[in-house]
């Protein structure tokens, strides 16, 4: 039985639709990330699951029980808020006990659960402090602790790492990964940070424009993006999408010509490619730098981004199309220089006129 099941959920604020017939099923103990830009509806969906927003249509079930009509506190979910939302006048212990007391949990049990959560989160010495006396990272742990003690069927994390500085974010990310192995519940995390989603989640739900764009394991989303939105949103820097036309031919795989005239031999099945204008999708690692005239096409270097172990080369093809290529860390290239680009079509993606992605056949 799936742990969380969302069926045809729609939501509008007045005349503005924010969610359009969303359906999703989660496995038991699964960790799912809702990934999307601001305004994609991912937070609204989380809040609908939590009961902080109502839905206009559809239903939400948790462990088979329909919960969309229940008040937030009776749904068996716990939430970690973006700004923690701790009660500032209560001690850490009281913050964690508050929900349990409201639920009528016996006192001894409350104490035991708090002690256990404090041990896991290493905040045993902080239990009598007020949130105002703690650092951001410690408050984050208290917020997580407050969720853990409830022993919910489902954890909801709303941008849990966005308030932490870079170093602490990395550490907390690792801790979240460890935590999820300790708790016997499913987790949903909302984030706009793809690195968080890629590293933590079992599956990623990419959302945009009121709809789910793709659901899949992190590497599946990266390697086989369902459409141009997912292709551009996941992966950093974004995938280059260049207009291309399909060339006639007898081969099993599609061969396309870019605007600048260069031809790319893909491993996308010709029969799968629809008629009409295409876009070829190239990640930086598919375009290597070569001497001028020595590659698939020539380009002019517009910008260099030196990342240490590699250099990203932002270049412009002769028809003005921008493309991002990759060079070694100690690249000697300079802005304005003309270079050749060796495009490896074997992993290239093709997107049809409808934006739907078609991917390379796995190599035999």
Please report whether residue 331 would count as binding another protein according to CB under 8 A.
no
Span 129-158, contacts to another protein by CB under 8 A:
130, 146
Matching residue, tokens 């049809």 = 352
Nearer to another protein, 55 or 254 (CB): 55
Please report whether residue 87 would count as binding another protein according to CB under 8 A.
yes
What is the nearest approach in angstroms of another protein to the Cβ of residue 132?
10
Structure tokens, 342: 């060796």
Please report whether residue 74 would count as binding another protein according to CB under 8 A.
yes
What is the nearest approach in angstroms of another protein to the Cβ of residue 108?
19
Q: Which of 2, 58, 72, 259 binds another protein (CB under 8 A)?
A: 72
Stretch that binds another protein, among 58-66, 90-98, 114-122, 297-305 (CB under 8 A): 90-98
Say if CB 88 and CB 63 are below 8 A apart: no
Say if CB 186 and CB 153 are below 8 A apart: yes
Furthest-apart CA pair in the chain: how many Å? 77
Query: Binders of another protein: how many residues, by CB under 8 A?
Result: 27
Stretch that binds another protein, among 54-62, 88-96, 163-171, 291-299 (CB under 8 A): 88-96
Stretch that binds another protein, among 21-29, 45-53, 291-299, 324-332 (CB under 8 A): 45-53
What would the DSSP string read from start to end of 244-313?
Answer: EEEPP-SSSEEEEEETTS-EEEEEEEGGGPPSS-EEEEE-GGGEEEESTTSSSEEEEEEEEEE-SSEEEE
Please report whether residue 50 would count as binding another protein according to CB under 8 A.
yes
User: Measuring CA to CA, which residue among 184, 179, 222, 186 is closest to residue 357?
Assistant: 222
Stretch that binds another protein, among 97-105, 203-211, 276-284, 325-333 (CB under 8 A): 97-105
Q: Which of 45, 60, 77, 127 binds another protein (CB under 8 A)?
A: 77
Please report whether residue 105 would count as binding another protein according to CB under 8 A.
no
Q: Which residues of 40-70 are buried (b: 16+ CB within 10 A; e: fewer)?
A: bbbbbbbbbbbbebebeebebbbeeeebbee
The HSE-up count of residue 284 (CA atoms within 13 Å, CB side) is 17
Stretch that binds another protein, among 4-12, 23-31, 85-93, 169-177 (CB under 8 A): 85-93
Structure tokens, 8: 């045809």
What would the DSSP string read from start to end of 117-184?
Answer: HHHHHT-GGGTTS-GGGS-HHHHHHHHHHHHHTT--SEEEEESTTTTS-HHHHHHHHHHHHHHHHHSS
CB atoms within 10 A of CB 182: 8
Q: Which of 12, 103, 195, 303 binds another protein (CB under 8 A)?
A: 103
Say if CB 102 and CB 96 are below 8 A apart: no
What is the nearest approach in angstroms of another protein to the Cβ of residue 102?
5
- Beta pairing partners, 227: 356
Site track 52-71 with another protein (rule: CB under 8 A), x = hit: x------------------x
Please report whether residue 85 would count as binding another protein according to CB under 8 A.
yes
Stretch that binds another protein, among 29-37, 49-57, 262-270, 277-285 (CB under 8 A): 49-57
Q: Which of 27, 94, 265, 322 binds another protein (CB under 8 A)?
A: 94
What is the nearest approach in angstroms of another protein to the Cβ of residue 22?
21
* Site residues (vs another protein, CB under 8 A): 50-52, 71-74, 77-79, 81-83, 85-91, 94, 98-99, 102-103, 130, 146
């Amino acid at each position: 039985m799936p742990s969380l099941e969302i069926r045809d959920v729609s939501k509008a604020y007045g005349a503005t639709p924010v969610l359009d017939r969303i359906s999703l099923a989660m496995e038991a103990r699964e960790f799912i990330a809702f990934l999307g830009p601001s305004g994609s509806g991912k937070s609204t969906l989380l809040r609908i699951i939590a009961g902080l927003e109502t839905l206009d249509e559809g239903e939400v079930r948790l462990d088979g029980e329909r919960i969309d009509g229940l008040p937030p506190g009776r749904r068996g979910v716990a939430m970690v808020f973006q700004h923690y939302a701790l009660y500032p006048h209560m001690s850490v212990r009281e913050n964690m006990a508050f929900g349990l007391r409201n639920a009528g949990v016996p006192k001894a049990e409350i104490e035991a659960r708090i002690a256990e959560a404090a041990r896991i989160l290493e905040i045993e010495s902080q239990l009598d402090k007020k949130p105002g006396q703690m650092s951001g990272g410690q408050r984050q742990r208290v917020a997580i602790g407050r969720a853990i003690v409830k022993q919910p069927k489902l954890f909801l994390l709303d941008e849990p790492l966005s308030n932490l500085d870079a170093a602490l974010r990395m550490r907390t990310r690792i801790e979240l990964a460890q935590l999820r192995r300790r708790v016997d519940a499913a987790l949903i995390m909302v984030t706009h940070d793809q690195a968080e989603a890629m590293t933590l989640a079992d599956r990623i739900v990419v959302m945009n424009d009121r709809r789910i764009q793709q659901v899949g394991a992190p590497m599946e989303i990266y390697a086989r993006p369902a459409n141009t939105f997912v292709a551009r949103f996941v992966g950093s820097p974004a995938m280059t999408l260049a207009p291309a036309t399909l060339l006639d031919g007898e081969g099993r795989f599609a061969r396309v010509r870019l605007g600048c005239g260069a031809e790319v031999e893909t491993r996308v099945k010709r029969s799968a490619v629809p008629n009409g204008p295409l876009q070829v999708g190239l990640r930086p690692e598919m375009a290597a730098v070569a001497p001028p005239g020595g590659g698939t096409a020539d380009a002019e270097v517009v910008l260099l981004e030196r990342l240490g172990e590699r250099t990203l080369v932002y270049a412009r093809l002769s028809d003005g199309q921008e493309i991002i290529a990759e060079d070694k860390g100690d690249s000697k290239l300079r802005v304005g220089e003309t270079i050749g680009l060796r495009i490896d079509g074997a992993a290239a993606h093709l997107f049809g006129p409808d934006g739907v992605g078609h991917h390379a056949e796995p190599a035999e």
